[in-house]
Each structure stands twice: as C-alpha cells, then as structure tokens.
Amino acid sequence: MLKYIGCHLSSSNGFLAMGKQASEIGANTFQFFTRNPRGGAAKPIDPADTASFMDFAAENGFGQIVAHAPYTLNPCSADEKIRRFAFDTFTDDLRRMEYVPGNLYNFHPGSHVKQGAEKGIELTSELLNRVLFEDMHTTVLLETMAGKGSEIGRSFEELRAIIDRVELSGKLGVCLDTCHVFDGGYDIVNSLDRVLDEFDRIIGISRLKALHLNDSLNTLGSHKDRHAVIGGGSIGTQALAAVMNHPAFDGKPVILETPNDLDGYKKEIALLRSLAK
C-alpha cells in the first residue's frame, strides 16, 4: 500500500517551497500552520505559488496536505473577542485554502475555560455553522484532544456531539492524534482494534481523514499532551506502526509532529516507510 507520510513544516517560504522540502526528506504530504501558531496576520496568498505547488504535488504523487489552524484559535472561549478572532481567522483560512482545493484544514475544537464541556460544544458547533460554506473544496478536521485543562474533543462522544450540531457536516472529518488519544485514555497500544471499533460506532470510520503520528512522553489517560519522537515514549514504535498500517488509514496523510529538526524527520519518515505494509 502506498503511504502518504510527512511531517510538520514551516510555511514561511510558501507552498512550492514546502512541497520541495517535503520531497527532499522523503515525504509525500506535509502539514503547516496557516499563520504564526500564536496568531496574527497571514502572509498574502501568491496564486502563482499555489498553482505551481498543485502541479508539483500531482507530478510527485502527493497525498492530501494538512493545514493546521493557529493554537490561539479558540472557538469556544468565554471571551467574545477571542471567539471573534476564531471566526475571522477560520473564515480567512478557509478562503485561502480554496487556492489549494481538495485538501484538509485541521483545528483544535477548543477550551471551554470553566463554562463546561456542553457549552464549549455548543459554541464550537455554532462557529462551524457560520464558517462552513456549501461550495467549499476543503474538508475541515476536528482533532482528537488529550483533555488537557478544559479542552473539548477529548472523547469520541464529544466530537460526535459537535458534528451532530453542524448543518454542513458533510464538510467535516476527524484527525486522529495518537499522542492525544493515548493521553486521553484510549489504549491504542493493547487494543487498537477496539479503539477504532469504538470510533466507528460513535463517529463513523469514514470521518477519519488524517493521522497525527506522535509518541507520548506520558502514560495512558494522563491528559497531558507532550509529544515524543517515534519510539521515545510510552506508545512505542510497534504500536505506532500498527496504527499507521491499519486499513482505516489507507490513503490518508500520516503526519509526524514529533520534536525533531528536518534531519530527524527525514530519519523518522525512512523508519516509517520501512515499517509500512
């Protein structure tokens, strides 16, 4: 099975530069922040750059790429100003993604900060109802979260509750982060099939659109969210390879968000390719 494996890259030199950099390290997909991860204005889109990237990606057999919303985007904040920033950023990012149609936009469902998970779910689905549009060509991904602090999206049930409240839910998918679900209490080391069956029962396996492949510095159910290099944490290389090779992820982008420089990523991609079935 052909695998689409890549890592997180810096977007500062544009799309074609990211595509070439990905190729150089053996990747055929990648992830990038749509703007500074801590927020702020995005560089204007250069239509010549996005067009050359689309050609490059097709010629080099790339899979879908994953745009990641900035960490500061919190759709369910109690603060109206922060929710406004989330709306403005989300809207602008989805408009920009139309220059690279057919790809994925991943975001963290948010932190409810003392309002309760139910209120958080309500506010996040409200935002999705305002930003998704009928003729968009991007699939928006809710990332599975570790449940650190007051994060929502820490269980499959919470993700399902958000999706259920969204009118254009056909535009929505889920990105499974191995470190986050493990820290969230899903035992992908000893019961991968059971976890994915549960995902299927609660959310539906067809919603699974991308994989963040990270080891975890912490233990099952720790609700911590600290990524480790592949094999450098409590999930381990074999279990991570089993997730990557599970048929549920066939044809889906596998993205490393491990603490690495480019050379480290290159080595991890080679390792994963050697373990790919």
Q: Which residues are catalytic?
A: 38, 68, 71, 108, 143, 177, 180, 212, 225, 227, 257
Strand partners for 32: 67
Q: How many residues in the shown chain lie near Fe ion by CB under 5 A?
A: 3
User: Considering only residues 190-229, where is the footprint of Zn ion by CB under 5 A?
Assistant: 225
Residue 140 DSSP SS3: strand
Under rule CB under 5 A, residue 183 binds Zn ion: no
Under rule CB under 5 A, residue 151 binds Fe ion: no
What's 45's DSSP letter? P
Q: Helices marked H in the chain — which ranges?
A: 15-24, 47-59, 80-97, 117-131, 156-164, 178-183, 192-202, 237-245, 262-275
User: Considering only residues 39-98, where is the footprint of Fe ion by CB under 5 A?
Assistant: none
The residue among 139 and 178 lying less far from Zn ion, judged by its C-beta, is 178
List the single partner that 212 binds among Fe ion, Zn ion, none, CB under 5 to 8 Å by kind.
Fe ion
**Interatomic CA distance for residues 84 and 75, integer angstroms:** 8
Return the residue nearest Zn ion (CB atom).
225
**Interatomic CA distance for residues 142 and 196, integer angstroms:** 16
| Residues 212/214/220/225 CA torsion (nearest 10 deg) | -80
CB 91 within 8 A of CB 128: no
Strand partners for 215: 228
The residue among 14 and 221 lying less far from Zn ion, judged by its C-beta, is 221
- Nearest approach in angstroms of CB 47 to Fe ion is 28
User: Tokens at residue 54, please?
Assistant: 């689309």
Binding mask 155-194 for Fe ion (x = CB under 5 A): ----------------------x-----------------
- Nearest approach in angstroms of CB 2 to Zn ion is 27
Binding mask 225-264 for Zn ion (x = CB under 5 A): x---------------------------------------
CB burial of residue 41 (10 Å; 0-12, 13-18, 19+): exposed
- Nearest approach in angstroms of CB 210 to Fe ion is 9
- Nearest approach in angstroms of CB 228 to Zn ion is 11
CA 142 from chain center: how many Å? 7
Under rule CB under 5 A, residue 215 binds Fe ion: no
- Chain residues that interact with Zn ion, rule: CB under 5 A: 225
Residues lying near Fe ion in the complex (CB under 5 A) are found at 143, 177, 212
